[in-house]
């Protein structure tokens, strides 16, 4: 009896084993598996990596392509992070006047940011880079400078070279490697995890080697010839048009930063103010000057990130013999082009207005209305409506060319809207479309980071 039952029992066990490993049993196992726990907020101790093709667009520069990548280390007790590196390798391609393709802008840099040094009281930021800006704008000086169109009446099919030369009338080629270094020292800090409350001292160095190459027949070439003439217009132009030969420029900066924002990259509450002075000792060509900047941004939240208001005011004043291209820039902490372009007066061409005294205002209504996750990454999508304004003066006192003031007119305006896409906490891409009712021009910009 036992011998007859043994084979039957063995067969039953084999059948049970096959049933356990059958597809039906495996499917049952899948059904009874516990669901994955929802992922909470990011870990305090982490490394956040972002890398994207650097596909950008700027009305003045054309389509940008390349690579942008960032690495940020987050640790408890460090805000906004322990350190962050950002690498950009990019160039821009644009349809050449008439036909063909040109490369107007080449930009490579490595940004380094270390906010947690010396017991979290010292922050060092640095940039090493190289730029070649083949269509840098030059329209003369003053709020009333003219944007002429000498290519009108030239048929590119009949005389392509003459047409392309005329389209470069307000352009020149500017090549400059650069080294930017800033040290920010906390002199007062009452920050909380939700809100900053700090004052920092700023000490910096910005060094560039500049090669300026005017195009034949351009306005810059004509003004370089004009400044050599012994005439009232020649003397006025010579006073403003400095630094046209190759030269090194060393700019030292110092000042104070006041910060009460709730977030460095996407603030909705608080303020940030830069009060700085920058000066050049005149390493070459007697380029000695001092410049003063008051750059203050204010942020007000109505419904968290869903609806907030941001406003910025900038006053930038230059005294002395600054190179002419510096008259279209402002700021010491992070120098920007303006007035004109996607970082200051949207809808107006870059370097459109040049002068020693600049006033700029930016108003933005911001909303981050959609948040979602892709694997371990947090994303947010939002929108912005904006109004930009600017007013400049070529110099202190009345400045005349041709017997007339070059500082007439009123504030220049740019208005429009755009989208914002945020990846993680520190990587934000903006898409802005703008129109200037005063200059009758428009612009479209795709770039990284809020304007302010």
The pTM score is 0.83
Least confident of 48-57, 165-174, 213-222, 325-334: 48-57
**Residue 101, class by beta-carbon neighbours within 10 Å (0-12 exposed, 13-18 middle, 19+ buried)?**
exposed
Question: How high does pLDDT run on average in the chain?
Answer: 90
Q: Tell me the pLDDT tens digit for each residue of 192-212.
A: 988 899 999 999 999 999 999
| pLDDT band with cut points at 50, 70 and 90 for residue 24 | very low
CA distance 426 to 48: 9
Q: What residues pair up with 102 in beta bridges, in sequence order?
A: 94
Taking only the tens place, the pLDDT of each residue in 403-415 is: 999 999 999 999 9
Q: 187 is written with which tokens?
A: 């002199």
Tell the residue number behind the tokens 């802005």, with chain if given.
432
Asked whether the predicted pLDDT for residue 177 surpasses 70, the reply is yes
Distance CA(271)–CA(279), nearest Å, equals: 26
Is 357 within 8 Å of 390 (Cβ atoms)? no
Residue scoring higher pLDDT (200 or 45): 200
Comparison of pLDDT for 431 and 76, the residue scoring more: 431
Q: Answer whether residue 8 shows pLDDT above 90.
A: no
Q: pLDDT digits over 132-159, tens only?
A: 999 999 999 999 999 999 999 999 999 9
């Amino acid at each position: 009896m036992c011998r007859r039952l043994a084979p039957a029992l063995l067969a039953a066990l084999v059948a049970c084993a096959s049933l356990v490993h059958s597809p039906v049993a495996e499917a049952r196992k899948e059904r009874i598996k516990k669901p994955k726990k929802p992922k909470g907020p990011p870990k305090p101790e982490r490394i956040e990596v972002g890398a994207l093709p650097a596909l950008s667009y700027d009305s003045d520069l054309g389509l940008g392509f390349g690579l942008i990548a960032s690495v940020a280390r987050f640790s408890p007790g460090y805000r906004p992070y322990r350190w962050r590196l950002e690498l950009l390798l990019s160039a821009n391609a644009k349809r050449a006047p008439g036909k063909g393709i040109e490369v107007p802008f080449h930009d490579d840099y490595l940004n380094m940011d270390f906010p947690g040094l010396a017991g979290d009281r010292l922050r060092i930021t640095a940039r090493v880079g190289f730029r070649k800006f083949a269509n840098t704008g030059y329209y003369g000086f003053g709020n009333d400078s003219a944007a002429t169109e000498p290519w009108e009446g030239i048929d590119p099919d009949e005389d392509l070279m003459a047409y392309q030369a005329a389209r470069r009338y307000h352009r020149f080629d500017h090549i400059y490697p650069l080294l930017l270094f800033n040290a920010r020292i906390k002199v007062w800090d009452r920050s909380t995890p939700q809100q900053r409350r700090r004052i920092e001292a700023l000490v910096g160095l910005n060094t560039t080697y500049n090669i300026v190459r005017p195009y034949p027949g351009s306005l810059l070439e004509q003004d370089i010839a004009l400044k050599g003439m012994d005439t009232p217009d020649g003397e006025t132009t010579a006073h403003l048009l400095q630094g046209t030969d190759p030269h090194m420029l060393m700019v030292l900066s110092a000042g104070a930063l006041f910060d009460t924002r709730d977030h460095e990259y996407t603030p909705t509450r608080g303020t940030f103010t830069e009060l700085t002075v920058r000066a050049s000792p005149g390493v070459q060509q007697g380029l000695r000057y001092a410049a003063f900047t008051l750059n203050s941004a204010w942020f007000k939240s109505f419904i968290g990130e869903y609806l907030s208001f941001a406003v910025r005011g900038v006053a930038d004043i230059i005294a002395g013999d600054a190179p002419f291209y510096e008259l279209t820039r402002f700021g010491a902490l992070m120098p920007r082009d303006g007035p004109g372009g996607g970082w200051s007066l949207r809808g107006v061409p870059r370097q459109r207005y040049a002068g020693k005294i600049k006033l700029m205002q930016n108003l933005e209504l911001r909303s981050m209305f959609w948040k979602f996750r892709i694997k371990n990454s947090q994303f947010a999508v939002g929108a912005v409506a904006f109004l930009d304004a600017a007013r400049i003066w070529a110099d202190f006192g009345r400045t005349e060319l041709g017997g007339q003031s070059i500082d007439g007119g009123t504030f220049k305006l740019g208005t429009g809207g755009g989208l914002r896409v945020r990846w993680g906490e520190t990587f934000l891409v903006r898409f802005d479309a703008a129109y200037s009712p005063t200059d009758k021009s428009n612009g479209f910009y795709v770039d990284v980071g809020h304007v302010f």
